[in-house]
Amino acid sequence: MKESLTLLIKLQTVDSELMELEEALGDLPTQVKHLSRDLETVHQVTGEKEARVQEVEKEKRSLRAKIDDTQVQLKRYKDQLLVVSTNRAYDALTTEIDGADKMIEDGEFHLLELDEEDQRLTDELKEDGLKAEAMGATLGTQQQQLKEALASTEQRSKALGKKREKLVTRIKPRFMSSYERIRAAREGRAVVNLSRGSCGACYNRVPVQRQMEIKAMDRIIICDGCGVILYWDSD
Ligand SMILES: [Zn+2]
């Protein structure tokens, strides 16, 4: 039993250090993930707006050409009106002229609408561009920080990972599963030392007789208060 307990204590030491390494990264990994996703959204929206600007430009060109053609046509109708000889032809021409006038008026109004849309999109794209630039700069800094933080802990965490693997193979499966279960329930701490006669996790007082049993390491002793495995820290 002594050996099993000793191995569990060692395993906890390794796991605690691994947790510390992870905590040292803070919420940087999450920040990087969220910012990358937000930036991607901005890029996507920008792409859609740029496509719409192209469409608007095309619509404006074709509408202008149509208005120009109609104006040429209108002038021709008006010239013909001067030389028309019958009432019937006169009426037909005035109908054409009215139609052309209306087309030009509607067309010019729609051109104004397209101009407004064009302007709005251009302004928004400018804003989005500045926003994306700022986000990109922050993301770059964060990614660099994360890279450096990972690089500084990588070697240590690899070494700890190997040490953990070796320890796990030497621990009996039933102890291992208890360990993992307690660890999951107690924020990563399954094996905790006695601290001045109390549980080091919940500070529940441990009777002297029990303290002696813990020190003897003949069996696994669980804290009545929080359920962690207690051990005697000789230091
Ligand atoms: Zn406790």
Task: Confirm if 146 and 28 have CB atoms less than 8 A apart.
Answer: yes
For 110, residues 6+ apart whose C-beta sits below 8 A from its C-beta are 63
- Protein residues near ligand 1, an ion, with CB under 5 A: 199, 201-202, 204, 223, 225-226
Euclidean distance between CA atoms 60 and 144, whole angstroms? 46
| Interval between CA 222 and ligand 1 midpoint (Å) | 8
Helix (H) / strand (E) containing 105 = helix 87-170
* Cβ proximity of 115 and 63 under 8 Å: no
CA of 172 to the centre of ligand 1 (A): 23
Q: Within 13 Å of residue 104, how many CA atoms lie on the same side as its CB?
A: 14
- Note the pTM of the prediction, 2 decimals: 0.62
Q: CA-CA distance, 12 to 164, in Å (whole number)?
A: 9
Residue 27 C-alpha to ligand 1 middle, in angstroms?
A: 29
**Closest alpha carbon to 133 in 51, 53, 42, 52:** 42
Domains in the chain, ordered, with CATH?
26-154 (1.10.287), 177-231 (no CATH)
pLDDT in tens, the chain (235 residues): 889 999 999 999 999 999 999 898 889 999 999 999 999 999 999 999 999 999 999 999 999 999 999 999 999 999 999 999 999 999 999 999 999 999 999 999 999 999 999 999 999 999 999 999 999 999 999 999 999 989 988 899 999 999 999 999 999 999 999 999 999 999 999 999 999 999 999 999 999 999 999 999 999 999 999 999 999 987 6
